[in-house]
Structure 1
Amino acid sequence: MPRSSRSEHRFPCDQCGADFRFSPSEGRLVCDHCGQSAKIDDDGPGPDGIAENDFLAALNAKTPQAEAENIDRLKCPNCGAELELDLGAHAGECPFCATPMVTDTGPQRLIKPRAVIPFALEEREAQKAMTDWLGGLWFAPNGLRNHARKGRRMQGVYVPYWTFDADTQSRYSGARGMVVRENNRVPRNGQPRTVRAQKIRWTPVSGHVARFFDDILVLAATSLPKSYTDALEPWNLSALRPYHPEYLAGFRAEGYTMDLSEGYDEARARMDRAIRHDVRLDIGGDRQRIETLDTQVRGVTFKHVLLPVWTAAYKYRGKTYRFVVNGQTGRVRGERPWSAWKIALAVLLAAGLGYLAAFWQG
């Protein structure tokens, strides 16, 4: 196994001295200079065996020394992304918005990643997925598609997420509504008529529901719009591997900017929505009312995980277009480009067809 040199994510080839990179297609380190390869010493457990961190202990700043590290980061002044700074580098370009990054945030004490989903797609595969996606968009400018095909390389970035586990017990009170239909005799035009009416009969209910939440996934950075990252789901978390820095060789790593308590707030909101759904199912009937709901949350644990995303940012006719590709599945999301002349042509064509249809009907 090659030994890490200076920067944690650089691994020199023991034959030629060039840096290894992690190859998604081979699942191992490869040297593009001499062709040497090296296996990653990953004999750790599968996703079910990856250790969790205690949430309350972390909130109380009692995270063990071995679970934290000091990281230097560059901060993008445009989108706010914070990327780990390679030793000796003092500037760079943001992979999310193509903005020059020169602001060094200085050393920060951060929770180490517990697990990573390694890249499964090579750059050429991500590039093809992106251009195919662009090609399938109506009214997208051809120039942007050609620019994307021939433009700069995509960048592979490991994006930070939190995962949360929790055991919940909830007690509720409310009411179950049953729809009933009745025949009522009402006068109409001086004559009694039968009118079928609908009403709801409510019955008081109370009960208890329980649910264990496993790996609620929360994005831990704000550099990308949430609509982008949500569109990259689902992630196959069964592919999580224990964190080894070798997986990051040749890629960038984004640091988390959403702290642990903020991440838990989002996870708790998702839990509450799921619990209310469970309560409605438990109440049953045609309608449900939830009047009181008391949830006890126990055994909260978390992990800091890194997930693979290919990114591209292209400046075309004065505007920056951003695209992201799920580095595991190939799902694509980006800014929707529009071609003004294609839209104008479509409008003229529709107007012309409408005129011809009116002419023939006349």
Structure 2
Amino acid sequence: MSQSPTPPPAPKELHRFPCAQCGADYRFDPTAGTLVCDHCGHTSAMQETHQPVIKELDFQSALENQLPSGEIEETRVSTCPNCAAQVEFDPATHAAECPFCATPVVADTGTHRHIKPRAVLPFALVERQAHDAMNDWLGRLWFAPNGLRDYARKGRKMHGIYVPFWTYDAQTKSQYSGQRGTVYYVSQTVMVDGKPQQRQVQKIRWSPAAGRVARFFDDVLILASRALPKSYTDALQPWNLGDLQPYSPEYLAGFRAEAYTIPLEDGYDEARAHMDRIIERDVRFDIGGDRQQIHKIATQVNEITFKHILLPVWLAAYKYRGKTYRFVVNGQTGRVQGERPWSIWKITFAVLFGAVAAGIIGYFISQSQ
């Protein structure tokens, strides 16, 4: 007799905080920095963390699956069939809409076992402020369809999402070899219209160069999600990571959290590419001169640490005439980014208007002549 499959383990943390007065769920209020119950208005102060310092984790230990068990958690997630985003849902939610692409999603009982966040950047803007910032951004896009603007302004609720990121620290020491170029000029005689003339010709004198550079990289920030285009999240920078708080699930009350889908090792590959670009800049500065040629850079990377952090994003996904438009707002600063919509009618009108205006100007110029 075959045995039934073992059910997945229950999530360790559901990020629910019942109101002490009525039993409804609290939510984190970005304005007051407290938990508030929308049902009865009762508020509750945030619990003080017992972790005053946000500690880094050892990268190599994580790769070898040797992190302490307390650094691992399981959360209940639902996977979007369209964009593959893995978003944490409340256990009472059975059906919802993917906040990243507006695709209907049926909440399942799947769990995601992952490295627990070490820090969170709490939301500083409420939903109304984020909505106003998005509408202002759309208002400055003259070629955006009016229908989309009106659809966005109807006040459809935006989703507050904590988006996962990796940060990496590393100590690097690099040894390089190359050449330093010094620009100088020589006079040459050339014939112009049959007459000799002197001109200055640029030359470069190259000399060997070698040396060492060192740099400590602190909090190289790498997106750990595939649900949003990286260009969107890059455009939301800068983030003030000095406001990071030690991770507490209370900050997630009333918000959703996306599980990371870019593994730690893959994130490090991107971070290392960023480090290499900075190191190359350091080498060119160290070589000096007017020109630089780099033959070789050998970099030794030590003391690699990391942390999994959550950054706040307000997100809206609108379906307009069969196309999904996504807009994201930095939940700390209000900076907006999204897919730029275009109105064919407005573009056509602008082209025609420009042609008519050019014709009128040309007519008056010809008459004046």
Is structure 2 residue 47 aligned with structure 1 residue 41?
yes
2:14 maps to which of 5, 8, 17: 8
In 2, distance between residues paired with 1:77 and 1:14? 37
Relative distance call for 1:187 and 1:297 in structure 2 (3 A) is same
2:293 maps to which of 272, 289, 296: 289
Moved more, 63-72 or 178-187: 178-187
Moved more, 51-60 or 98-107: 98-107
CA drift of 1:101 comes to 1.9
For the residue of structure 1 that corresponds to 2:201, the secondary structure is: strand
1:135 aligns to what?
Answer: 139
For the residue of structure 1 that corresponds to 2:110, the secondary structure is: strand
- Is the CA contact 1:7–1:87 (under 8 Å) kept in the aligned structure 2? no
Relative distance call for 1:193 and 1:319 in structure 2 (3 A) is closer
Is structure 2 residue 58 aligned with structure 1 residue 54?
yes
1:208 aligns to what?
Answer: 212
In 1, distance between residues paired with 2:35 and 2:107? 31
Is structure 2 residue 169 aligned with structure 1 residue 169?
no
In 2, distance between residues paired with 1:203 and 1:105? 66
Name the aligned partner's letter for residue 66 of structure 1. Answer: G
CA root-mean-square deviation: 1.9
Runs (4+) of structure 1 exceeding 4 A deviation are 43-46, 185-193
Moved more, 106-115 or 249-258: 106-115
- Is the CA contact 2:96–2:107 (under 8 Å) kept in the aligned structure 1? no
Moved more, 8-17 or 348-357: 348-357
1:108 maps to which of 109, 112, 130: 112
- Is the CA contact 1:157–1:311 (under 8 Å) kept in the aligned structure 2? yes
Q: Residues 39-69 of structure 1, C-alpha deviation per residue, up to 9 Å, x if partnerless? A: 11234566xx310000000001111100001
Equivalent runs, 1:196-345 vs 2, <5 Å: 196-345=200-349
Q: Residues 292-320 of structure 1, C-alpha deviation per residue, up to 9 Å, x if partnerless? A: 11000000000000000000011112211
TM-score normalized with structure 2 length? 0.92
For the residue of structure 1 that corresponds to 2:122, the secondary structure is: coil
Relative distance call for 1:84 and 1:194 in structure 2 (3 A) is same
- Is the CA contact 1:173–1:206 (under 8 Å) kept in the aligned structure 2? yes
In 2, distance between residues paired with 1:154 and 1:214? 33
Name the aligned partner's letter for residue 177 of structure 1. Answer: G
CA drift of 1:7 comes to 5.7
CA drift of 1:151 comes to 4.2
Relative distance call for 1:7 and 1:114 in structure 2 (3 A) is closer
Relative distance call for 1:171 and 1:35 in structure 2 (3 A) is same
For the residue of structure 1 that corresponds to 2:357, the secondary structure is: helix
Question: Unmatched 5+ residue regions in structure 2?
Answer: 1-10
TM-score normalized with structure 1 length? 0.94
CA drift of 1:9 comes to 1.3
Question: Unmatched 5+ residue regions in structure 1?
Answer: none
CA drift of 1:187 comes to 6.7
1:20 maps to which of 26, 43, 46: 26
For the residue of structure 1 that corresponds to 2:211, the secondary structure is: strand
Moved more, 321-330 or 86-95: 86-95
